[in-house]
Amino acid sequence: MRGIVLIFILYWYGISVSNACGKCTFYVALGDNFSIPLEHKNLREHDELIWKKNSETVYKKKKNRVQINTTVVSSSGSLQLIDLKMTDSANYSVEVHDKNGAFLKEDRKCLCVIEKILSKPHIQSNCSKSKLTLTCSVKKPNNVKYAWLKNKKEMKENTKTLIEDKKKLKSSDTFSCNVSNEVSYQMSDDIKCPDDKLLGLDFWVMVAILATGGGLILILILVLVVCVCRRLKQNKDREREEEELRLMHMRQQAHPPRPQEAPRSHTAPYTHPQNGEDYTPPPPRPRGKRPRPPPVPVTDEEKPPPRPKPRQSAPRHNRT
């Protein structure tokens, strides 16, 4: 009983060892087609050809007659693999004998089927005052290699995380990571560490300048709004006054003013004589003479001007 168990264990151990692939001879992408070449140039029609996958025979031809055919073999003896799957990763061996059974050629190849990198890697950055830390991440990161590029030039670092001294960096430096395996690769977008200076000035100084400039612009906008409002109000007042003057002029044209009567004199009303009486008008009111102004006082030093004498008329002579 123990012997049977030991034989069973050794059998499965042998299968697992045979299934194990040490160093891959070929790397092929999942879903692709591949041909494992036969490195024997003088293959004849009557030669015996045997292909094995691990320990299982997948193709056998002897004396120009195919005995086992679970895969495709070309006329040159190469093994054709179509639409590769992950289970196709294995050790493939080939044996060649002549028609008499003499050994001619034996070869062994290890085929590894791996997935392509389909997603684009993404860089996570942490930019502090002293250093820059970059981490490259990608979906399904199995058996991938990392490479870092600085300004499109490859660097020596090949790890997932890159750490750089910020003092040695320039504001124009860019970084990107390349993730690859044996059948594909993907490149990330460029990234840079944001600079604390803006236009050559410190960031907070620039913020203060921008805030001050923004405040001044806001004040100018407020002043402009006030001026515009006052101007609009003045225009409205002027239009209202013009409208009132126009209405007043139209009213005057529609209703012109009546002419004024001459002032009446303060005379007694005229009465007609009654019963044949004679009418005698009232005597006129005597006009009062204006009093002369008082003489100007004359001092001893000043003498008054001589009074004008009346002109004496000469006697008239009768003409004969």
Is residue 49 exposed (0-12), middle (13-18) or buried (19+ Cβ within 10 Å)?
buried
pLDDT score at 12: 41
Question: Is the pLDDT confidence value at 85 over 80?
Answer: yes
| 55 vs 205: which has the higher pLDDT | 55
Task: Output the CA–CA distances (angstroms, integers) from residue 150 to 107, 124, 145, 168, 192, in the order listed.
Answer: 44, 16, 17, 13, 10
Rounded mean pLDDT of the chain?
Answer: 79
Residue 234, SS3? helix
Distances (CA, A) of 313 to 293, 310, 316, 318: 29, 9, 9, 15
Residue 225 is predicted with a pLDDT of: 92
pLDDT of res. 239: 86
* Cβ–Cβ < 8 Å for 175, 188: no
User: Please, what is the Cα angle at 70 between 66 and 74, to 5 degrees?
Assistant: 65
pLDDT tier, 153 (very low <50, low <70, confident <90, very high otherwise): very high
Q: Give the mean model confidence (pLDDT) for residues 212-224.
A: 89
Mean pLDDT of 18-47: 84
pTM equals 0.51
- Between the alpha carbon of residue 242 and those of residues 101, 166, 170, 230, the distances in Å are 127, 73, 70, 18
Contact 123, 37 (CB under 8 A): no
Q: Is the dihedral of CA 115, 91, 24, 9 positive or negative?
A: positive
Residue 38 and residue 77 in contact, taking contact as beta carbons nearer than 8 Å: yes
Asked if residue 11 has pLDDT above 70, the reply is no
CA angle 77, 79, 81 (to 5 degrees): 155
Return the percentage of the chain with pLDDT > 90, whole number: 38
54: which DSSP letter?
T
Summarised one tens digit per residue, pLDDT across range 259-308 is 665 555 555 555 555 555 555 666 666 655 566 666 655 555 555 566 66
Please report, rounded to a whole number, the percentage of residues in the chain having pLDDT higher than 70. 69
The more confident residue out of 179 and 316 is 179
Measured CA to CA, the distance from residue 17 to residue 9 in angstroms comes to 12
Which of 207 and 201 is assigned the larger pLDDT? 207
Amino acid at position 140, single letter: K
Instruction: Please give the order of strands across the beta sheet that includes 185-187.
Output: 153-154, 145-150, 175-180, 185-187
